[in-house]
Structure 1
Amino acid sequence: MAKPPKQIPAAHSSPPRPATETARVSGDDIHILRPGLHSQAGDLPFAGPSSQRPPETEGGTRQPAVEVSEMLTRHQPGESSTAPDALNLSARPTTPTFLPAHLAIRLTPATDSPEGIRYDGRDRIYVDMREGTAMVSKNPDGHYQLTSANELVPSGYRVERIRETHLWQKLQPGATRRPAADEADSVAGPSKRARVEDDQSAQAETLSGVLDLSSRQWRNWGQSTRPTSGQSVEIDGLHYPIVSQIVRSNTPVVCIKHPHFNPERFDAFEQMLVDEPALQPRWATRSADNRWAVADTRLPFERSLTRSVAESFEYLSGQSSRAVAKTLFYQSRGAEVINGEGLQVLGQTLRHWENRAIPAPRRSLADPLMLLPIQPTLNDGTFGGKIELPSASAANLQRIDFDSAKFPDQWREYSATPRNANLQKLFKSVLEKSGYTVSPPNHSLLENALVFYRPGLSVLFAMKLPTISAAFIRRYTKPGSELNNSAALMQLDDAGRQRLSALLAQDNVIYLVGGIDPLNSQTPSLFVLREG
């Protein structure tokens, strides 16, 4: 009996999928927005065709989540709707063929694969680029190459993964492929200098690529029909969902959002800015003739919120930078869930902190010290009571820490002679490096207080530096007593006393307590908290 002919796999067959990858999911199985983050019960993260259950066969096996017919070339507005010739293998696409959002969402998540590879129901492979999600195939030399469902041999340009992300980009002509961050380093010697230089080059290239908005990838977020739920605006004949906000006839700015991401809570928003910043919303502005247009000359947020805070206030500890960023995110809206107006306030505040060239959107957001909550004074039966020292790792902002490792010379000088006068000198140096103007230390001020302000902000900060010996701070004087005692007032001229009286009357004085954290001797830090 003759043996049946051996079947030869198609030229564009996908590589075998790792056994550790998760099973394919369809639109109604998707519940993971980001790694470790889930949508709230009862809330559908996405609406539209992707939420419909694919048909099942008589045997009960579900059909592939995405069919071949759905993967044909997506026609842009204004293009011919004539189907491409499936047998024409000579055509060489000059741009990727991006999936519509409602189809891309049915693919396996990019986070299921270390390289960001995604699969459809027939095990064809796709990658996420800044412009959208495109089909690729691996060619004989090991590179991934753009392809489409209507060709047997890939004819698009080659692509490579952007280091340390799940995004891919076009491989430049003549460029050699660098090993990814999770691949073995077989070139650099023991010093790893070659790898370090390569990492720096790759990071610079990655940042440059992320900020390149010339491709206007947001255009792939639009739909030909108005969404059945949520708010949207129309731009050039397409409807774009927006981040929730109150939209009136004279509303000048809204935020269009990526169909795969709803930026409501801090953790998801921050992780998105780190991993896939192309998913962030874009500002859309209304013109005088009531037309909407996207401001795509730059990304609204060019780095994570924590990194933005850290670059504006370089001496802050990493924990404080994140706590300040998280609090700013919440206070921009006044709630844990942000909206379109809140994102605008958030962006303007970060730009104000960066260079002070534009005003703060609200006075309460003009400075990180103004975000501190007032710590309660506990009555323990002693005169004045005490304030418990909040933990430096508290989930919410309770105190601001300056990392001594970032100013080693000043810290070394203080540590050699840890006296009150030297503590004043240390705080004065750190505050001035952080952009504040500090008055010369005055021995007449109670509890070694320092008085300082930020130029352009009509707020006076008065910070006492009491002796701290345990996880609480004894309060021997009331807030404001350092400014109202007769010895301090006698050193002011008439104009100075009038300015101080005006600040006090307008409640423009913020009372602080500072010191060295006695509970963290391994990594010493200067803390600042607010008293009432």
Structure 2
Amino acid sequence: MSPRRNTRLNSPKSSPDTPHAGRDTTPQALPRNPQPGEGIDQPPSSPGRQTQAPEAQPPAVQIAEIASRAVTRDASVPVSLDDYYLSPELVTMLSEPDATSGIRTFRTRTYVELSEGGTVLLGRDSQQNYRARSSTELIASGPRLEQVEGSHLWRRLPHGEVTHGSDPDPVPALDRPTVEESPEAVAPKRPRTTASQSEAVTQGEPAFTKNWGFDPRFSTSEFITLGDVHYKVVSSTAAREYPITYVQSPTHPAYDFDLLEAILRHTPDEQPRSAVRIPPGNHWEIDPRLPFEKPLTAYVREVFPEVTTVTLENIARRQFELANDSSFADGAGLTALRQIFHSWKNATPSPPPQWTDPLLMLPILPTSSSSRGTARAIALPIPSATGTLERLDFDPLRFQQQWLYFLTTYSPVDFKRFMAGLLTRNGYTVIEPSSFSSFPALVFQRTGHDHVFYMSLHRTRIPKISLPSYTDPNTAGVLLENQVGEAAAKVVRDAQSANKIIWLKGGSEIRPGIADTVFIIRDDNARL
């Protein structure tokens, strides 16, 4: 038998230029065989056989990414508006242009029509400049926009007219710092020091920096004093004293709904700020945070997404007047509005429910008797009337699929399902409708108060609801349990006993000269 060949490859000798040429060969530096008990499991040894120590593992190779500078576009090149245009089929869903600003709205968003053609979503950048905005971003980063003087149209701000120091078309910072540019390479890390709690609070809270001080000697306005600065406050009455007051710009008059809505929509940073007394010295302190995050109509739109634009403004206006007990704002009213919006957001009980639910804000419309027979009728207010809330209208363009199906059916059961779906999408809880095919009606409630709504359903093609005697379930002898179901009937009877029942009429109004609408009004024709 031939001797066993040595198959181990000979390691090449390192040249003097290799990193291993100057290797330390002292006994302490040389690798040694591991000894038992040093953390390496030993294989069992056989008699007469020596166990060789495993060869030393080569040093691990670490792969580090070489930072490179990403290529960015030149900030001097204007950004195209092509990616910001709204689809033409969606433009028809926007409101009419505002008479002053030309701004059009859809729900909580604002749009403008450009003089060069097309419509874009409008937003503000971090410096409160108007820009075209993508629907996927919170802070607008598109081209700067401005309104064309004397027109409802807007235009792109010419590239050369952008003021010095503001970026005409902000470009995202795509550069990745190289090793030389990284903060760690510029300066060594310092040990982190722990700031005191008071210092952390001081550094984390923004300060009130508005230059709203004024000289009260030349004004009859109420004011508060912080240090040596006097601030004009939103007027209040002795009967509505409230621990929170609001400072305002000295150039602003008293706030009615239209003024406050315009400020919140166009210059939100100019809205009043709340101020409270801080014990034990009872000195005044101004909260620099914005009391309102959006226009008043935007809060309403979030909760009632399918009402018409006219109804939206009428609800917000009526809510403003109820909360302030006046057509002008005071401190208690502004705080009440903030509480209402907070209760909407968190679905919690709120101030008086008449301030939060528009169905409770509706006036009771009179029922007129006919000079001939026992027929009666309720005249419908004009759906386009602004300034007063006499009816709620829902825009079929916001629920087109359901509306188109509704137009094809005359089934009372389908009618109930259609209206139940609309109420549910706008925050109401509808008790399961019955399958009874006559005298369609619904019973429903809303989270936040204990009132119960009973609504009979009608279709009309004239500006009134006709109520002949044969359409009255009481006259026809129809039991409430058969009409709306036993569960709903019990809720109605209990609410009637507690004086918590609200009688409504609702349905479709389709007639020439006005847009199709789904309406709700309040009447006093009790079912019980």
The amino acid across from 1:509 in the alignment is: I
Q: Does 1:252 align with 2:243?
A: yes
Q: CA deviation at 1:355?
A: 3.3
1:378 correspondence with 2:343: no
Select 1:388's aligned residue among 379, 383, 396: 379
1:323: which partner in 2?
314
Question: What TM-score do the two structures reach when normalised by structure 1?
Answer: 0.57
Highest CA radius of gyration, 1 or 2? 2
In structure 1, distance between residues paired with 2:417 and 2:367: 27
1:274-304 C-alpha deviation (Å, 9 max, x unpaired): 22122211111223322222223x3112111
Q: Is the 8 A contact 1:401 1:528 kept in 2?
A: yes
Alignment of 1:189-228 (within 5 A): 214=206, 216-218=208-210, 220-223=211-214, 228=219
The answer to whether the 8 Å contact 1:432/1:438 transfers is: yes
Matches within 5 A, 1:274-285: 274-285=265-276
Contact 2:274 2:287 in 1 (8 A): yes
**CA distance 1:226–1:403, change in 2 (3 Å):** same
Is the Cα–Cα contact under 8 Å of residues 324 and 333 in structure 2 kept in the other structure?
Answer: yes
Q: Give SS of 1:463's match.
A: strand
Letter in 2 for 1:293: E
Alignment-derived partner of residue 432 in structure 1: 424
Corresponding residue number in structure 2 for 1:459: 451
Amino acid at match of 1:179: R
Query: Counterpart of 1:71?
Result: none
**Which amino acid in the other structure matches residue 437 of structure 1?**
T
Please say if 1:442 is aligned against 2:409. Answer: no
1:343 maps to 2:343: no
1:413 to 380, 402, 405: 405
TM-score (norm 2): 0.57
Structure 1's 477 and 310: CA in aligned 2 closer, same or farther, altered over 3 A? farther
Shift of 1:232: 1.6
Point out the more displaced range, 230-239 or 364-373: 230-239
Q: Distance in 2 between matches of 1:270 and 1:234?
A: 27
Q: State how far apart, in whole Å, the 2-side matches of 1:249 and 1:345 are.
A: 11
| SS of alignment partner, residue 443 of structure 2 | strand
Deviations 1:458-505 (A, max 9, x none): 010111112423111012469997799762247999998775444213
Distance of 2:341 and 2:422 partners within structure 1: 21
Counterpart residue identity of residue 365, structure 1: W
When residues 215 and 526 of structure 1 are mapped into structure 2, their CA distance, relative to the original with a 3 A threshold, is: same
Q: 1:436 to 1:504 in 2, by over 3 A?
A: same
1:282-341 C-alpha deviation (Å, 9 max, x unpaired)? 111223322222223x31121111122112211111111111111111111232223221
Q: Identify the residue that residue 10 of structure 2 maps to in structure 1.
A: none
Which of 95, 118, 130 is residue 163 of structure 1 equivalent to? Answer: 130
State which of 224, 229, 233 in structure 1 corresponds to 2:220. 229
User: Could you say what the CA RMSD is over the residues aligned between the two structures, in angstroms?
Assistant: 4.0
Assess if the C-alpha contact under 8 Å between 1:463 and 1:511 holds in 2. Answer: yes
SS of 2:506's equivalent in the other structure is: strand
User: What code does the residue aligned with 1:464 have?
Assistant: S
CA distance in 2, matches of 1:524, 1:301: 34
CA contact (8 A) 2:216 2:223 kept: no
Alignment of 1:346-365 (within 5 A): 346-357=337-348, 359-365=349-355
CA shift at 1:216, angstroms?
2.4
Helix, strand or coil at the partner of 2:479: helix
Distance 1:310 1:491, change over 3 A: closer
Q: Answer yes or no: is the 8 Å Cα contact 1:384–1:478 preserved in 2.
A: no
Identity score, percent: 27
Question: 1-side partners of 2:256 and 2:382: how far apart?
Answer: 23
Cross-structure match for 2:356? 366
CA contact (8 A) 1:402 1:526 kept: yes
Q: Which residue of 2 aligns with 1:23?
A: none
Decide whether aligned partners of structure 1 residues 242 and 474 sit closer, same or farther in structure 2, where only a CA change above 3 A counts.
same
**Structure 1 residues 334, 479: closer, same or farther in 2, change over 3 A?**
farther
Q: CA–CA distance in 1 between the matches of 2:250 and 2:450?
A: 43
Of 471, 474, 480, the match for 1:488:
480
Residues 265, 305 of structure 1: alpha-carbon distance in 2 compared, 3 angstrom cutoff: same
Whole-Å separation in 1 of the counterparts to 2:297 and 2:475: 35
The equivalences for 1:241-320 within 5 A come to: 241-246=232-237, 251-289=242-280, 290-296=282-288, 298-320=289-311
Aligned in 2, Cα 1:493/1:383: closer, same or farther, shift over 3 Å? closer
> Take 2:284 and 2:438, find their aligned partners in 1: how far apart are those partners?
58
Give the secondary structure class of the aligned counterpart of 2:519. Answer: strand
Change (3 A) 1:176 1:522: closer
Contact 1:445–1:483, Cα closer than 8 Å, also in 2: no
C-alpha separation between the residues in 1 aligned to 2:315 and 2:515? Answer: 20
Distance verdict in 2 for CA 1:373–1:217, change over 3 Å:
farther
Answer whether contact 2:339 2:351 (CA < 8 A) is retained. Answer: yes
Q: Partner of 1:465: helix, strand, or coil?
A: strand
> After the TM superposition, which of the residue ranges 516-525 and 312-321 deviates more from structure 2?
516-525
Equivalent runs, 1:70-149 vs 2, <5 Å: none
Tell whether the 8 Å contact from 2:436 to 2:484 is kept in structure 1 after alignment.
Answer: no
Is the CA contact (8 Å cut-off) linking 2:443 and 2:455 kept in structure 1? yes
Q: Judging changes above 3 Å, is the alpha-carbon distance between structure 1 residues 334 and 411 closer, same or farther for their aligned structure 2 residues?
A: same
Paired with 1:177 and 1:450, the residues of 2 have a C-alpha distance of 48
Does the 8 Å CA contact 1:449/1:482 hold for their aligned counterparts? Answer: no
- Tell whether the 8 Å contact from 1:251 to 1:286 is kept in structure 2 after alignment: no
Match of 1:515 in 2: 507
Q: Structure 1: which amino acid aligns with 2:275?
A: A
Query: After superposition, what is the alpha-carbon deviation per residue over 1:401-452, rounded to whole angstroms, capped at 9, x for unaligned?
Result: 1111111221222223243222211111111111211112235597311111
Partner Cα separation in structure 1 for residue 485 and residue 310 of structure 2: 42
- Which residue of 2 is the match for residue 107 of structure 1? none
Name the CA shift for 1:480/1:354 in 2 (closer, same or farther; >3 Å).
farther
Q: Aligned AA for 2:396?
A: S
Looking at structure 1, the residues matched to 458 and 430 of structure 2 have their Cα atoms a distance apart, in angstroms, of 18
Preserved contact between residue 436 and residue 453 of structure 1 (Cα < 8 Å) = yes
| C-alpha displacement of 1:509 | 0.9
> Does residue 473 in structure 1 map to residue 465 in structure 2?
yes
The 2-side partners of 1:390 and 1:455 are apart by: 28
2:407 maps to amino acid: S
Q: Write the distance in 1 (CA, Å) between the matches of 2:299 and 2:475.
A: 34
Does the 8 A contact of 1:261 with 1:279 survive in 2?
no
CA contact (8 A) 2:208 2:286 kept: no
Displacement of 1:185: 8.0
Unpaired stretches in structure 1, ≥5 consecutive residues: 1-34, 37-129, 131-158, 166-174, 188-197, 202-211
What is the identity, as a one-letter code, of the residue corresponding to 2:301? A
Contact 1:445 1:488 in 2 (8 A): no
* Change over 3 Å in CA distance of 1:248–1:368 after alignment to 2: closer
The residue that corresponds to 1:122 in the other structure is none
